[in-house]
Amino acid sequence: MKIRPFAVEEWMNAYETKCVHNLAETCVASLTIGELLQLAGRNSDDLSALTELKMTYGAIEGSDALRDAIAGLYETKTRDDILVTHGTIGANALVHKAVVERGEHVIAVLPSYQQHYSIPESIGAEVTPLWLKEENAWLPDLDELQSLLRPDTKLVALTNPNNPTGSVLDRAGLEALIARVAPTGAYILCDEVYRGTEQATDSSAPAMADLYDKGISTAGMSKAFALAGLRLGWVAAPPDIRAQVMSHRDYDTISVGVLDDHFATLALQSKDALLKRSHDLTRSNLAILSDWVATEPHISFVKPQAATICLLKYDMDIPSHDLAVDILENTGVLLTPGSAFDLEGYLRIGFANHTEILKTGLAALSDYLRPYD
């Protein structure tokens, strides 16, 4: 199966370990196991207890405790509605492979994580983009969506909160979107890995799987829970999709790691403490970023409503890839070029890394931008 190279992952693989100031990071500053234990009110006895843990495949579909804790993130789900996967990336890949057939029609809301258009394209589906526009605050134009929907549309795929813009469809927005899609009978896949990072409220935007009987939600431990190293995600889906995902999952997952299951359960059982840390960091860091943007004549942005990333628009006439490479070589600051999202004139910034990294990175960027004044 041929597939287009995954531009954003190639960019990260090439440069993430070579930068001084990582402003391309998409996770809330990752936790150590020690910090996780502390936030969960545990201590090193919990680590000692792990020496007894048998390194079998573990519970094939994920432990009951883990799936109960995941189900607790949804309004209507129970353990049986959840399939545990290798990260959100594994969840997304499984859903696309399970839902989409060659020749079928898919609408991908872009810009987005490339899985949501390049995997269905590689399967041989016809993928129609619905481009978000800056003038609409990076939210989908539902009349345009309506015009793209066809009787044979099988799937609409989006990220909410959106990567790379940080825009959020709230309950009313999601319900309006579902009202347009439901008459066609299409499934909606909503990648919700950034759920739990909302700026204005401590309650997350609703999950697609709670709102629509053909709604599929994917998510994981990496972003809001700051535990990407667990490589643990999940799918919440209706029974027909769960069965198809499970068939594919048997071929490429078997189970997730026993240790990943253990620590993800602990983290989700302490989710309020983890999310509070993430809210505090993303909110104070976004305030710093907003103040910086306000003082930079060549940079503007639509303030993100959630997530850990957003797009910075620049007014220089330079391709985003060349600009991002030049910034990296001259300052050590790593951003992500808009070209990694098939978008020009923008750089994506990750603002949820440790505050000191953000501050020193922005100061170095200011120095870089001065000659353009």
Give yes or no for residue 191 binding ligand PLP (CB under 6 A).
Answer: yes
What residues numbered 132-151 form the site for ligand PLP, per CB under 6 A?
A: none
- Angle, nearest 10°, between helix axes 258-269 and 64-71? 40
Residue 286-325 contact track with ligand PLP, rule CB under 6 A, x = bound? ----------------------------------------
Q: Confirm if 6 and 114 have CB atoms less than 8 A apart.
A: yes
Give yes or no for residue 113 binding ligand PLP (CB under 6 A).
Answer: yes
Nearer to ligand PLP, 89 or 266 (CB): 89
Nearer to ligand PLP, 6 or 368 (CB): 6
Helix, strand or coil, per DSSP, at residue 190: strand
What residues numbered 6-35 form the site for ligand PLP, per CB under 6 A?
A: 26
Of positions 163, 184, 305, 339, contacts ligand PLP by CB under 6 A: 163
Give all strands of the β-sheet with 153-159 in edge-to-edge order: 82-85, 233-236, 215-220, 187-191, 153-159, 105-110, 126-131
What residues numbered 44-103 form the site for ligand PLP, per CB under 6 A?
A: 87-89
Nearer to ligand PLP, 120 or 296 (CB): 120
Give yes or no for residue 159 binding ligand PLP (CB under 6 A).
Answer: yes
Of positions 220, 304, 345, 350, contacts ligand PLP by CB under 6 A: 220
Paired strand residues for 226: none
Nearer to ligand PLP, 206 or 233 (CB): 233
Type of residue found at 371: P
CB of 193 to ligand PLP, least distance (A): 4
Q: What dihedral do alpha carbons 178, 180, 185, 191 form, nearest 10°?
A: -40
The pair of structure tokens assigned to 362 is 């922005």
> What letter does residue 229 receive in the DSSP assignment?
G
The pair of structure tokens assigned to 333 is 């600051």
Cite the beta strand spans of 7-53 per DSSP E: 21-22
Nearer to ligand PLP, 309 or 364 (CB): 309
| Angle at 18 (CA atoms; ends 17, 19), nearest 5 degrees | 100
Residue whose C-beta lies closest to ligand PLP = 87
CB of 74 to ligand PLP, least distance (A): 17
Q: Alpha-carbon distance 225 to 30, whole Å?
A: 8
Of positions 193, 302, 306, 343, contacts ligand PLP by CB under 6 A: 193
Best CA proximity match to 128, nearest among 112, 148, 144:
148
Positions that interact with ligand PLP (CB under 6 A): 26, 87-89, 113, 159, 163, 191, 193, 220, 222, 228, 233
